[in-house]
Amino acid sequence: MERKHFEVREAGLSRSPGVAAALSRIYYGDDGLWGEYDFPNSLLFRRLVDEHRKREQKFRATR
């Protein structure tokens, strides 16, 4: 099984809202209110959502 790891090197308060917004997008289809109340890390958000899409497509292709 291929494993990929993300390494986040920037510190700050935007990481948690970025993860929360990405999980909200992945599981519920939208970002929720994370962008309105916090400043989510957009790079982290995009990487998490993109990686999820890639893995989901790969999983569906093997079925």
Q: What is the pTM for the complete model shown?
A: 0.72
In a domain, 57, yes or no: yes
Domain count, the chain: 1
Three-state SS across the chain?
Answer: CCCCCCCCCCCCCCHHHHHHHHHHHHHHCCCCCHHHHCCCCHHHHHHHHHHHHHHHHHHHHCC
Task: Please tell me which of 1-5, 10-14, 27-31, 32-36 the model is most confident about, judged by mean pLDDT.
Answer: 27-31
What are the pLDDT digits (tens) for 17-50?
888 899 999 999 988 888 777 788 889 999 999 9
In a domain, 51, yes or no: yes
Domain with 38 in it: 15-61
In a domain, 19, yes or no: yes
pLDDT of residue 62: 87
In a domain, 10, yes or no: no
In a domain, 47, yes or no: yes
